[in-house]
Amino acid sequence: MPLLEIENLVVRYGSALVLDRVSLAIDNGECVAVIGPNGAGKTTLLRSISALKDWEGKMSFQGRDLAGVSSSQTVALGIVQAPEGRHLFPQLSVRENLELGAFLAKEKAQKDTNYEYVLELFPRLGERLRQMAGTLSGGEQQMLCVGRALMSSPRILLLDEPSFGLAPLIKEAIANAVRQIRAKGTTILLVEQDAHMAFELAQRVYVLEEGHISTTGTSKELSEDPSIRSSYLGL
């Protein structure tokens, strides 16, 4: 049984159909990427999974039906997102942001372990614990965003364009962190416009175009597909 299973997901904004019968499945421990052009519905997909957006169809997590489950409950189940636009708490410190990331965590020991794990992953956050999140640089904000998500011990981590708008060096640092998170066995659903990064990090890739999945396969297969190569890898 897959960890997260989505069947015929349909999402509308008013009368516009943004996602049209999208189906995908992610197994435990996998790193799966969704690539596609701007406006294809990638962010909407993640927002639907996190229950920030109303959806139709069928989604289940660990066999549990996600219909009618609130955002807060998805986090409790272990579906945690580092969203597009980061959505940090700008007037709270880095430490407070991280603590809020563990809002639902019951055990203090687990909280402390996660906290140390995040600071190990992103040493730069450790140097800025008392700084307000709103005053961090873009790269640091992205690290905090991913770090905050890790604070609640996710079963599956949803990453929405973690490298978006970042300088190459910072981009690499984030990619590195994703590799480490993956190596620890955390399941990852990565949404990326940068197909190079997606193919490198993910084992399997879905291509989302105009609201539906046009192609899917392993990173290796797709990176050899001529049409994918020309439209996404610029080769």
Partner 1 sequence: MELIQEIIIFGTIKGCVYALIATGFTLIFAVAGILNLAHGTFYMLGAYFTYTLFYVLGIPLPPAILLAAVLVGALGMLLDRVFLKPMRSSHTYVLVLTVAVAFAAQEIILLTYGSQGMNIPNLIEGSVNLNGVVVSWHQLLIVAITAVVLIMLWLVLTRTRYGVATLAVSMDEDGARLVGIETEKVFNLSMFASAFLAAVAGALISPIMSMTPEMWNMPLMKAFVVVVVGGIGSLTGSIMAAFFLGWLETFTGFVISPKLTEVVSLVLLTVFLVFRPSGILGRRLH
For residue 92, state whether it binds partner 1 (rule: CB under 8 A): yes
Tokens (6 digits) for 134? 């709103």
For residue 101, state whether it binds partner 1 (rule: CB under 8 A): yes
Position among 80, 94, 136, 208 found at the interface with partner 1 (CB under 8 A): 80
Q: Which residue do the tokens 């955390």 mark?
A: 186
Candidate segments 58-66, 75-83, 172-180, 191-199, binder of partner 1 by CB under 8 A: 75-83
Q: Closest CB to partner 1 among 90 and 123?
A: 90
Burial of 132 (0-12, 13-18, 19+ CB in 10 A): middle
For residue 64, state whether it binds partner 1 (rule: CB under 8 A): no
CB of 87 to partner 1, least distance (A): 3
Distance from C-alpha of 151 to C-alpha of 131, rounded to nearest angstrom: 18
Q: Closest CB to partner 1 among 92 and 233?
A: 92
For residue 83, state whether it binds partner 1 (rule: CB under 8 A): yes
Position among 69, 76, 119, 175 found at the interface with partner 1 (CB under 8 A): 76
Q: Closest CB to partner 1 among 80 and 195?
A: 80
- The 3-state DSSP class for residue 76 equals helix
Name residues contacting partner 1, limited to 153-192 (CB under 8 A): none
CB 26 within 8 A of CB 191: no
For residue 69, state whether it binds partner 1 (rule: CB under 8 A): no
Distance from C-alpha of 90 to C-alpha of 143, rounded to nearest angstrom: 14
Please report the sign of the dihedral spanned by the C-alpha atoms of residue 37, residue 49, residue 6, residue 21.
Answer: negative
Q: What order of strands is seen across the sheet that includes strand 4-13?
A: 16-26, 4-13, 56-61, 64-65
Distance from C-alpha of 78 to C-alpha of 217, rounded to nearest angstrom: 26
Q: Closest CB to partner 1 among 26 and 145?
A: 145
Distance from C-alpha of 178 to C-alpha of 145, rounded to nearest angstrom: 13
CB of 75 to partner 1, least distance (A): 3
Candidate segments 10-18, 48-56, 190-198, 204-212, binder of partner 1 by CB under 8 A: 48-56
Q: Closest CB to partner 1 among 19 and 149?
A: 149
Distances (CA, A) of 74 to 18, 32, 108: 22, 19, 21
Tokens (6 digits) for 219? 């990173």
Question: Can you give the binding site for partner 1, defined by CB under 8 A?
Answer: 50-52, 70-72, 75-76, 80-81, 83, 86-92, 96, 99-101, 103-104, 148-149, 151-152
